[in-house]
C-alpha cells in the first residue's frame, strides 16, 4: 500500500501536531518526524511534500536544530513555518536577524498577488505571529509574498524550486484562511489527490490486519473507551472470531456502561468476536473497603485489573498478537519517529505484555488522531454514544468518589452523573464542553426534605474546557441548567441533599477530584 504522504519535520515547535492535523483536514495523510531523522529515511518514504515546523531556537546559533541542505534539492516541495522558514533562508543563503522587538499575537498582514499559497484569499487579512527572530534578507531566487508592519518578509517563495517559507503560523486558527494556505500547498503545490478518508482507511486497515494476522489469534483488553472500542471494531471486521476481547467490569464504570459495551461487542451485538465480560464488581469493592488514600486506591484498581486480565489470558493460552488502542498522539508523545510506541494499557500501568504470552503487538489505530478514531468508529457502525464518549479515567469512578469506595457511593455517583449528562445533552451542550461529570464529595451535611431532617452526601458537578487536559477552566453552564440538574439529583438520587458546582481551574486544581 502506498499512501500519499506529507512529512512534517519537527523542530520543537508547540504546534507540531496541529500542523499534521491541518494537513489531514485537507484529506492528505501526514506523519511527524524529528529533525534528527536521517535524510535517507525521508527519501525512502518518498513524500509528496515536506513541512518544517516552528521551534524555540535561533537558527544561526551553532547548536540549534538544523537539517542538511540536501533537503531542498530533492525536488520535493518544502514549506517552512516560522523557525522552519528562517532555517530554510539561513541554509540557502538568506539572512535571519534578532530584531529589538518580536511579534506576538494577531497581526494585520498583506499578501502579494504572486503568492502561490495565498491564491483565492483576500489581499489584507490577519495572521498569528509568534517569533523573535525574523528573515531580513531572502535567499537568492526567492521573492517576498507577504509583509506586516514589523516584518517586511512575512512570507517568501521560489516557485521554480517549489520552496515556500511563512513566518507566521497558518496552522493556528487565529490565522484567517490558514487551512486554505496549507491546502494550497498540499493539494496545489504538492499535487496530492486528497484520498486520505476514513472509509478508505477502514478498508485498507482491514486488508493489512488480515495480511499481518493470517490465521493467528489476537487478544485485546477492551475498556469501553473510544480507542479500545474502535480497535476492537476494526479487528473484528478484519479477523472475526480470531479476536478475543476481555472486558473487565470493575464496578467503577458509569451507569449502564458495562451493559452498553456488552450490547455492542457481546453476543447478539454488531460485531463477530469472542467477548469475555468479567464481572469483578464485588471483588473490587472488597479490595477497596476501608481504603481512603487516593494513590493507594489507584494502585489497587490498577493491580487488580492486571490480575484479572492475567487470569483470563491464562485461560485463553498463548496468542499471536496482543492488540492495543494506541493512537497517533501517543506515538508522537512517546518520542518522535515513533520507533517504539508507549505501551498504553487500560489503567496506564504499562506492563501488560509481561504476563501475556504473545509474539507481537498490533496497533491498528497507531496512525490516527482522536477525531479520526471517532470517524473510523462511525464508519464501522459503532454507536455514537460510544464513539463520542467523554474521556474517562482508567480507575473510573474510583477517582470520582472522595474517600472510601462503597457500592452505595458508586450507585449515588452513577445516578447523579447520569442525570447530569442527560440534562447537559438536553441543553445541547454535550459536544461543546471538554469533559464533565458528577463526583461524590466525602462531605455529609444537614438538610431538610419534606418535614424530615436529613444527613446526606454532597454531589460535586464538574465541567471543564481544556485543549490538552494539562490546563483547564471551569465551563460556564447556564444557571438554569445547573439548577435543573441540582433539583433532579436531590429528588431522584437517594442519599444526596446538596449539589455543588466546582469552579476551580487546573492548575491549581485537577480535573478529577482525586
Task: Tell me the CA distances in angstroms from 222 to 205, 231, 360, one per residue in order.
Answer: 19, 9, 18
The stretches of 317-393 forming alpha helices (DSSP H) are: 328-333, 370-379, 384-387
Q: Which is nearer to ligand XMP, 37 or 504 (CB)?
A: 504
**What's the full length of the chain, in residues?**
514
Q: Which is nearer to ligand XMP, 348 or 445 (CB)?
A: 348
Q: Which is nearer to ligand XMP, 445 or 510 (CB)?
A: 510
Please report where in the chains the cell 485463553 appears, as a residue. Answer: 316
Q: Which is nearer to ligand XMP, 389 or 506 (CB)?
A: 506
Which position among 82, 127, 151, 190 bears the catalytic label? 82
- DSSP per-residue codes, 184-252: IIIIIIS-------HHHHHHHHHHHHHHHHTT--EEEE--SSHHHHHHHHHHHHHHGGGEEEEEEE-S-
Q: Which is nearer to ligand XMP, 502 or 512 (CB)?
A: 512
Contact 319, 357 (CB under 8 A): yes
Active site residue 25: no
Least separation, in Å, of the C-beta of 470 and ligand XMP?
8
Which position among 4, 31, 103, 171 bears the catalytic label? 171
- Closest residue by Cα to residue 353 from 392, 387, 318: 318
What b/e string do you get for 281-317 counting C-beta neighbours within 10 Å, with b at 16 or more? bebbbebbeebeebeebbebbbebbbebbeebbeeee
Of residues 388-407, which lie at the interface with ligand XMP (CB under 6 A)? 391, 393-395, 399
Q: Is 512 in the site for ligand XMP (CB under 6 A)?
A: yes
Q: Which is nearer to ligand XMP, 423 or 514 (CB)?
A: 514
- 3-class secondary-structure state, position 109: strand
Of residues 424-453, which lie at the interface with ligand XMP (CB under 6 A)? 435
Which of these segments, 8-16, 116-124, 349-357, 387-395, binds ligand XMP (CB under 6 A)? 387-395
Q: Which is nearer to ligand XMP, 330 or 379 (CB)?
A: 330
Those residues with Cβ within 8 angstroms of residue 325's Cβ, 6 or more apart along the chain or in another chain: 220, 225, 227, 228, 230, 231, 344, 363, 365
Which of these segments, 30-38, 228-236, 364-372, 506-514, binds ligand XMP (CB under 6 A)? 506-514
Active site residue 82: yes
Position among 21, 217, 298, 409 found at the interface with ligand XMP (CB under 6 A): 298
Position among 98, 333, 469, 478 found at the interface with ligand XMP (CB under 6 A): 469
Q: Is 485 in the site for ligand XMP (CB under 6 A)?
A: no
Q: Is 409 in the site for ligand XMP (CB under 6 A)?
A: no
- Cell reading at 462: 464538574
Q: Is 260 in the site for ligand XMP (CB under 6 A)?
A: no
Least separation, in Å, of the C-beta of 389 and ligand XMP?
12
Q: How far apart are CA 57 and CA 329, in angstroms?
A: 24
Which of these segments, 37-45, 129-137, 149-157, 504-512, binds ligand XMP (CB under 6 A)? 504-512
With CB under 6 A as the rule, give the number of residues binding ligand XMP. Answer: 13
Burial class (CB in 10 A: 0-12, 13-18, 19+), 276: middle
Contact 174, 106 (CB under 8 A): yes
Question: Where along the sequence are the contacts to ligand XMP (CB under 6 A)?
Answer: 298, 348, 391, 393-395, 399, 435, 469, 506, 510-512
As annotated, the active-site residues are 82, 169, 171
Amino acid at each position: 500500500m502506498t499512501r500519499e504522504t506529507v512529512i512534517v519535520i519537527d523542530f520543537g515547535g508547540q504546534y507540531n501536531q496541529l500542523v499534521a492535523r491541518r494537513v489531514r483536514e485537507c484529506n492528505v495523510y501526514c506523519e511527524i518526524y524529528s529533525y534528527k531523522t536521517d535524510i535517507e529515511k525521508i527519501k525512502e518514504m518518498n513524500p509528496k511534500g515536506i513541512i518544517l515546523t516552528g521551534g524555540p531556537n535561533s537558527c544561526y546559533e551553532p547548536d540549534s536544530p538544523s537539517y542538511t541542505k540536501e533537503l531542498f534539492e530533492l525536488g520535493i516541495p518544502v514549506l517552512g513555518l516560522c523557525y522552519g522558514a528562517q532555517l530554510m533562508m539561513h541554509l540557502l543563503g538568506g539572512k535571519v536577524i534578532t530584531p529589538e522587538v518580536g511579534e506576538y499575537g494577531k497581526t494585520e498582514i498583506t499578501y502579494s498577488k504572486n503568492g502561490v499559497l495565498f491564491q483565492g484569499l483576500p489581499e489584507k487579512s490577519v495572521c498569528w505571529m509568534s517569533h523573535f527572530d525574523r528573515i531580513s534578507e531572502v535567499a537568492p531566487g526567492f521573492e517576498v509574498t507577504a509583509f506586516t508592519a514589523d516584518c517586511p518578509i512575512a512570507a517568501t517563495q521560489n516557485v521554480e524550486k517549489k520552496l515556500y517559507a511563512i513566518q507566521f503560523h497558518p496552522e493556528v486558527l487565529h490565522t484567517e484562511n490558514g487551512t486554505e494556505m496549507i491546502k494550497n500547498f498540499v493539494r496545489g503545490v504538492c499535487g496530492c489527490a486528497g484520498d486520505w478518508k476514513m472509509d478508505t482507511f477502514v478498508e485498507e486497515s482491514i486488508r493489512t490486519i488480515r495480511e499481518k494476522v493470517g490465521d493467528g489469534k489476537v487478544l485485546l483488553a477492551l475498556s469501553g473507551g473510544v480507542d479500545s472500542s474502535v480497535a476492537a471494531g476494526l479487528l473484528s471486521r478484519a479477523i472475526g472470531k480470531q479476536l478475543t476481547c476481555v472486558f473487565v467490569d470493575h464496578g467503577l464504570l458509569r451507569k449502564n456502561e458495562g451493559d452498553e459495551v456488552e450490547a455492542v461487542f457481546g453476543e447478539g451485538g454488531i460485531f463477530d468476536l469472542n467477548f469475555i465480560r468479567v464481572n469483578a464488581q464485588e471483588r473490587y469493592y472488597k479490595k477497596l473497603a476501608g481504603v481512603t488514600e487516593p494513590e493507594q486506591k489507584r494502585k489497587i484498581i490498577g493491580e487488580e485489573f492486571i490480575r484479572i486480565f492475567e487470569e483470563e489470558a491464562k485461560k485463553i493460552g498463548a496468542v499471536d498478537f496482543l492488540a492495543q488502542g494506541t493512537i497517533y498522539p501517543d506515538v508522537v508523545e512517546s518520542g518522535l519517529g515513533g520507533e517504539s510506541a508507549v505501551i498504553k494499557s487500560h489503567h496506564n500501568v504499562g506492563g501488560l505484555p509481561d504476563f501475556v504470552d504473545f509474539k507481537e503487538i498490533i496497533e491498528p489505530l497507531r496512525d490516527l488522531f482522536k477525531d479520526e478514531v471517532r470517524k473510523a468508529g462511525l464508519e464501522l457502525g459503532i454507536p455514537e454514544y460510544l464513539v463520542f464518549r467523554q474521556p474517562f479515567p482508567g480507575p473510573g469512578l474510583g477517582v470520582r468518589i472522595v474517600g472510601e469506595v462503597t457500592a452505595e457511593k458508586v450507585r449515588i455517583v452513577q445516578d447523579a452523573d447520569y442525570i447530569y449528562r442527560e440534562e447537559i445533552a438536553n441543553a445541547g451542550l454535550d459536544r461543546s464542553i471538554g469533559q464533565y461529570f458528577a463526583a461524590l464529595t466525602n462531605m455529609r451535611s444537614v438538610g431538610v426534605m419534606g418535614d424530615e431532617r436529613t444527613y446526606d452526601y454532597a454531589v460535586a458537578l464538574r465541567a471543564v474546557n481544556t485543549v490538552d487536559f494539562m490546563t483547564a477552566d471551569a465551563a460556564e453552564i447556564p444557571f438554569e441548567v445547573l439548577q435543573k440538574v441540582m433539583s433532579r439529583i436531590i429528588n431522584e438520587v437517594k442519599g444526596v441533599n446538596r449539589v455543588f458546582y466546582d469552579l476551580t481551574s487546573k492548575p491549581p486544581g485537577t480535573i478529577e477530584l482525586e
